[in-house]
Amino acid sequence: MKVSILGDSISTYTDYNPIGYSVFYDSENQRKNGINSVNDTWWFQLINYFNLELCSNNSYSGSQVAKENIYSTNNINRLYFLQKDGVVPDIIIIYIGCNDYFRGTKIKNSRFNVDVNCFYDAYNMMLKNIKRLFPNTTIVCGTLMRSYIKDYDKFKFPENYCGIPFTNYNDTIKKVAKKNGCFVIDLDSQNIKYETLDGTHPTKLGHAEICKAWVQGLLKEPNILHNIRNRNNKTHSWYCEFYYIIIYFFNSLPPIYNLYPFRLILLFVVSALVNDLI
């Protein structure tokens, strides 16, 4: 069973993210955080625990759910890279939102107007776009976890950063996931904090603690993995198929145009044209 990861810096690792992505866990940060190999990351431990196979790790350091840019996860062009070489994941695991919280992203601006600069609308758009690209893939959303700093007992996790309660973001994740028919693993409810050196990025132990929360949550929802194992999910939407054809076209371009930012910009233009037709 193939799984793709959608996340931010917490889930990055050198050579495991699409070319051109910003990566936090380069060799230097791996060393600082005691991480010896990719097997020490939370997501790879999770994959090994459930005997899964990695399809794509679509994690970009510093990225948010919200905002109107090519790196935000509400952007359908970034979400396309949840597949790899035309192979579609059976399950997509989403762990993102920390940067939205620490940057004070508003939850919702208006009851009626859609604004992807707000967390609610952006998370909703993200899930709708994933389902549009991969209609038969199971989507699992994780709530955000609190952290602690190694050997610094005075550290208290900021519960109301930038004036917006931490719990508001997790409540939004649960609400929007349910609205879109997606599974939720309430990591926060496991009462597990993860170790860091800076308050955000997990150490080797911190990755193990994040993985533990995911494992405990998934074991409480056996239908998630059971249902996927009992079906052969290789289909995706014509929209994704169209994108795959475009990628072949990009590969024939000079090397400079194959850099990730150029590919996303071109995909954005193509997406806009397609949206006008449907």
Closest CA to 187 of 57, 42, 39, 30: 42
Write out residues in the chain with pLDDT < 50, as ranges. 231-237, 248, 274-278
Domain with 131 in it? 2-229
Q: Are residues 69 and 134 in the same domain?
A: yes
CB 24 within 8 A of CB 12: yes
Q: Are residues 114 and 47 in the same domain?
A: yes
Q: Are residues 172 and 95 in the same domain?
A: yes
CB 73 within 8 A of CB 96: yes
In whole angstroms, what is the distance from residue 139 CA to residue 90 CA?
A: 9
Q: Are residues 105 and 136 in the same domain?
A: yes
Q: Are residues 52 and 115 in the same domain?
A: yes
> Which pLDDT does position 258 carry in this prediction?
53
Largest CA distance in the chain: 57
Tokens of 37: 């190999």
Q: Are residues 216 and 270 in the same domain?
A: no
Q: Are residues 62 and 144 in the same domain?
A: yes
Q: Are residues 159 and 269 in the same domain?
A: no
> Which pLDDT does position 200 carry in this prediction?
98
Q: Are residues 77 and 23 in the same domain?
A: yes
Reported for 226-234, long-range contacts at CB under 8 A and 24+ positions apart, including other chains, are 227/138, 228/1, 228/90, 228/91, 228/138, 229/1, 233/88, 233/90, 233/136, 233/137, 233/138, 234/88
Tokens of 191: 């009462």
In whole angstroms, what is the distance from residue 56 CA to residue 73 CA?
A: 14
- The side-by-side arrangement of strands in the sheet containing 183-185 is 53-59, 2-7, 91-95, 138-142, 183-185
Residue 118 sits in a domain whose CATH number is: 3.40.50.1110
Beta bridge pairs of residue 194: 147
For 181: left if phi > 0, alpha if psi spans -120 to 50, otherwise beta; the answer is left
In whole angstroms, what is the distance from residue 106 CA to residue 127 CA?
A: 18
Q: Are residues 136 and 255 in the same domain?
A: no
- The phi, psi pair for 195, rounded to 5°, reads -75, 140
Q: Are residues 136 and 263 in the same domain?
A: no
**What total of structural domains would you count in the chain?**
2
